Structure 1
Amino acid sequence: MKITLIYPGELSLSSALYPPLGLSYIASYVEQAGFKVKIIDTIFQKIEDIEIDGDKNIYGIYTATPIHFKGIELAKKIKKMDKNAVVVFGGPHPTILPEETIKAGADIVVIGEGEEAFLSIVRAINTNKKLDDISGIVFRKYGKIIKTPPKHFIENLDKLPFPDQSKFPIEKYFKLKGFREISMITSRGCPMNCIFCQPTLRKLFGNTVRYRSPKNIVDEIEYLVKNFKPDMIVFSDDTFCSKEQNIIEVCNLIIKRKIDVLWRCQTRVGLKKETLRLMKKAGCFLLALEVESGSQKILNNIRKGITPNQIIETFILCKKVGILTHAYFMVGNIGETFETIDDSKKLMSKIKPFNISVAIVTPYPGTDLYEFALKNNLLLETNWDQFCHVQNKPTLKIDGLTKKEIIAIKNDFLEQHKKSVNSKIKDLSFSLKDLIFIRKIFRIALKDKNIIKRIFLLSFKSIKSTGFSISNPYKNS
């Protein structure tokens, strides 16, 4: 029996260039149980690279909304290549729309967290047992779609093996980006209630956030440094610092073990100055902050739970500590006007982020934003492949703003930020003057002399553009 996990990736549809951790976790978990797993990444590999063997071959396909259509097309192609294929879908989109995914061609859909359910499916198929007793899946049986009771989420994340990212062509990811950056995750779930994410995240990961222990997190950091020699580690948590004490313990362990690595993360505003200082000492180079808007009206509409003053205060603290900042903005929210956009531009001028991302608000299925748009006839598209926040494809109708105007507003944000050269030079210079930081860079350079060259080239490019290219530089914009 062959087990193949497939990532139907597209460079133009990806917000970042990293192997998907979900498939990496499943590969490690299933192999720990004694099965062999292969991963196909269609960014770099062809579906024809699949190995077909015997009459029991299982294919697990991960899809989010922008790549769901491609995943369905791959499933059809696989079934033509392998008449005995069992195709299992998982990920955000199948979790929210499992019946639709089954009707489109999937044999089985895993709802939410995938490790235990996928392994149970593998064991059932391998031993010719029924699927009915596996919790948290949807499948077709005798022409009917069967949905089993919800499964329990994995309480102790430390029990999971580290995700095996070596099954992806990781060096090709590094080469594409021009920088050796690898990702990891320290928790599952998000404690917030933003209209554009919830309740989808709760359906994927449960109602409460589950955290790995600081020791387990730092053990994986050491594993990544030893095996992949990254220039930087990116923590891909939805809100990395949601449990501040955990982060403090992680930073103290990094310092205690003398791990020389740079890292960055994404989080909400509101961190304490002492915590930021400790993060910098532990190697935090850049903090991506969820700003979204400079208008209190919009922040209230999207249930962000923050104020413009809190945003300003956090950016000031980051500058004082010497951590570079990346600001996430959104345009085209419910209630957006030229006045609220002007508020956001004014805020950007005040906080002077080193880097920005500007997303066009996208009502992904399952979110409260999608349900609101559906109820009020505000959806501009019905094809899922048009739903992608990193591209110029508005899918939400906003009174008083046309699709062309929303795209123009996004581009204007980016152009305005490109002009802030002096501010970026000042931030970068201050960040690199820190003696502790310089010593860390020097120790890393002793192990890899080329890192200085890569950081210098990246810094030069960042000053000319919108900051460090922490996202996919090949996506359409």
Structure 2
Amino acid sequence: MPRLVNKVGEGYQFPLGIAYISSSLKKAGFQVTTVNLNHTEENSRDILERLIRQNDIGIVATGGISIQFNSIQEIAKQAKSIDSSIITIIGGGLITAEPKVAMEALEYADYGVIGEGEETICELIYSLEKKQDLSAVDGIIFKSGGALTQTRPRAEIMNLDALPWPDYDGFDLDKYLELPPPDVNNLGEERLAFILGSRSCPYSCTFCFHTIGKKYRKRSMQSISDEIEYLVAKYNVKFLFMADELFGVDNTRVREFCELMRRLNLPWRGSFRVDEIDRDIVEMLKKGKCAIIGLGLESADNRILKSMRKKITIEQIENALKIIYEANIPFSGNFIFGDIEETVETATNTFNWWLAHPEYNINMWMVISYPGSYLYQYACENNLIKDRVDYLKKGCPAVNVSRLNREELNWLIRNILEMPAKKASNVIDTQLIHTDRATNRMTVSGKCAKCGAANIWEGIKPFISVSIPCSKCAQKHNTPTPLPIENSIIHAVEKLLEKHHKIGIWGITFHSTSILGNHAIFSDPDIVLIDNSSYKQMMTINEKPVHDPSVINDKNLTVIVVFYPNSFQQVEAMIHSTYPTVRHIIDVCDLIHAPG
């Protein structure tokens, strides 16, 4: 399992895909050695070399999604450096979205698994062992004689109940459950586990790519129930994240699931469409221990919703949010700007709706053209993405597919970054109680902006766009940046500048924008602002431009402070692979306890 964390002890989203692959290989009788690189301080190359030597390993397999490219590439590179004869196999959305592009970018990969991999990888390894014709194995791509060969697509797995459960033991779920939650979608519960009850989604939104097939399939409720009861009994799981792309497709199924959760007294989170939400459903979810309702919102303009192929309306969004809000159930949902049909008028409509409804505190983002999505194909066909391999290696930065010009995009980005700090529901009378030096998590207190109730929020990760709910009324609030935390960052930056003379700040978010714009130190010409998003490169902060990462070479920067805590591992790997002269890459959270 690739390293997804900056330091051991941080939470992350447990990748179920690779755990399904491992259990399928073991069920087929292959000898499998597993390792989760997120749970050890040891150098990953040293770990791989020891396991390869001790277990006489001839194949190294890993995988993940497109934005994890650099972490996955590093594993394949290390394996080949240990023994050039080792066969490397890569799977997951990274390969499935753009098989030929991914394999060209992954110069150390021998084979790629396209789509669902449980059956494919078993057939591939069997054929490799028996030296059989690989062209007969459906769903793979491989390098042969300097060229790429892609076989026929593999049929989707229809009977999901027949698959073994993920290899939880092999990837240390017991250790994972001891970690703080990964800070996604308001989650604040301990011992949180992910589970899949279905695969794919019956809809085709333009910004989305279904990594495990186009046809929606679901497990039986008995199969899901058995796995959940196993997780509770063996691992003492206390919170369940249903990782289905869309959970609420069938009300009868949702009702059965709610009855199961109520019987187990197990809080959970699932994803729903706004056109499925009514008062009866919400009441059923509340009684059924649903702690967080995930919603796909995306825009408050019906023209954009139609362009995105959402098949919902703003009227349905308003109805769903009102019902959920009145039921005092936390929800997660975002507005994403920059669709193909986005204009100043459509964006203004969404901003105005957002301003009229601060109680919902909806996060706002720019749309990303992820490989495999319709937006990605559109961007490539219109030469907005000029080099697909380079785009993948750079972490899939945002590109402008909208109708907005440079000046209009600058206006749009500023609103997205600055409005939440000024207008959203923010905690009143924030006080920092404690920061954990090992995890850089903080405990803060404050009053709810809606009901005024006193709250204490524990284990909060600074500088990330995650809402924290009121314990009494479930009102969502922005994650605060207490003044002592902010002052620590400023002091640490001053010391870094004094020591190294020039530093780069990578990551323009609403948290970083607030700090960068309010402190004189960031006006220093030797502090360089960086982001790999072409949108954000159109901005100025304190009259300073935001640069493309190539400025690292132009200005010979050796120290970079990264303001993306949840993506630090990916950014760090990208900087290491592209800008080897950088000597110090620092997670902004590590500056909280930096020595004076």
User: TM-score range, shorter-chain basis?
Assistant: 0.7 to 0.9
Structure 1 residues 95 and 181: alpha-carbon distance in aligned structure 2, compared to 1, 3 A threshold? same
How big is the shift at 1:214?
1.4
Separation in 2, partners of 1:265, 1:364: 23
Residue segments in structure 2 that go unaligned for 5+ positions in a row: 182-187, 429-446, 461-467, 481-563, 569-587, 589-596
The residue number in structure 2 matching 1:396 is: 400
One-letter code of the match for 1:260?
N
Instruction: Select the structure of larger CA radius of gyration.
Output: 2
On the 8 A contact 2:359/2:425 being kept in 1, the answer is no
1:114-164 residue CA offsets vs partner (Å, 9 max, x unmatched): 101111223233444442321111112344432222212111111112212
How big is the shift at 1:354?
5.4
The 5 Å alignment of 1:32-431 reads 32-45=27-40, 46-50=44-48, 51-53=51-53, 57-103=58-104, 104-170=107-173, 171-172=175-176, 174-177=178-181, 179-197=190-208, 200-201=209-210, 204-255=211-262, 258-270=263-275, 271-349=277-355, 356-379=362-385, 382-388=390-396, 393-398=397-402, 399-401=404-406, 404-416=410-422, 418-421=424-427, 426=450
One-letter code of the match for 1:384?
L
One-letter code of the match for 1:181?
L
Separation in 2, partners of 1:160, 1:147: 25
1:18-61 residue CA offsets vs partner (Å, 9 max, x unmatched): 11110111111111223343344444442421211476521112
Separation in 1, partners of 2:452, 2:162: 39
> Identity of counterpart residues, as a percentage?
27
Q: Does 1:466 align with 2:511?
A: no
One-letter code of the match for 1:115?
E
Structure 1 residues 211 and 304: alpha-carbon distance in aligned structure 2, compared to 1, 3 A threshold? same
Structure 1 residues 428 and 97: alpha-carbon distance in aligned structure 2, compared to 1, 3 A threshold? farther
Separation in 1, partners of 2:195, 2:268: 11
How big is the shift at 1:464?
8.8
Separation in 1, partners of 2:222, 2:354: 37
Residue segments in structure 1 that go unaligned for 5+ positions in a row: 1-5, 433-451
Q: Aligned pair count? A: 436
Larger helix proportion, structure 1 or 2?
1
Q: TM-score, normalised by structure 2?
A: 0.65
The residue number in structure 2 matching 1:437 is: none
One-letter code of the match for 2:255?
I
How big is the shift at 1:260?
1.4
How big is the shift at 1:62?
0.8
1:348-391 residue CA offsets vs partner (Å, 9 max, x unmatched): 34555656443321112222111222233334884324445xxx
On the 8 A contact 2:361/2:425 being kept in 1, the answer is no
How big is the shift at 1:276?
1.9
Q: Does 1:26 align with 2:21?
A: yes
**1:87 match: secondary structure:** strand
Structure 1 residues 314 and 63: alpha-carbon distance in aligned structure 2, compared to 1, 3 A threshold? same
Moved more, 106-115 or 125-134: 125-134
How big is the shift at 1:169?
4.4
Give me the CA root mean square deviation. 3.5
On the 8 A contact 1:8/1:42 being kept in 2, the answer is yes
Q: Runs of at least 4 residues of structure 1 off by over 6 A?
A: 452-455, 460-464
One-letter code of the match for 2:207?
F
1:249-272 residue CA offsets vs partner (Å, 9 max, x unmatched): 2223333xx101111122221223
How big is the shift at 1:235?
1.1
Separation in 2, partners of 1:40, 1:394: 33
The residue number in structure 1 matching 2:442 is: none
**1:340 match: secondary structure:** helix
The residue number in structure 1 matching 2:529 is: none
Separation in 1, partners of 2:141, 2:448: 50
Moved more, 95-104 or 377-386: 377-386
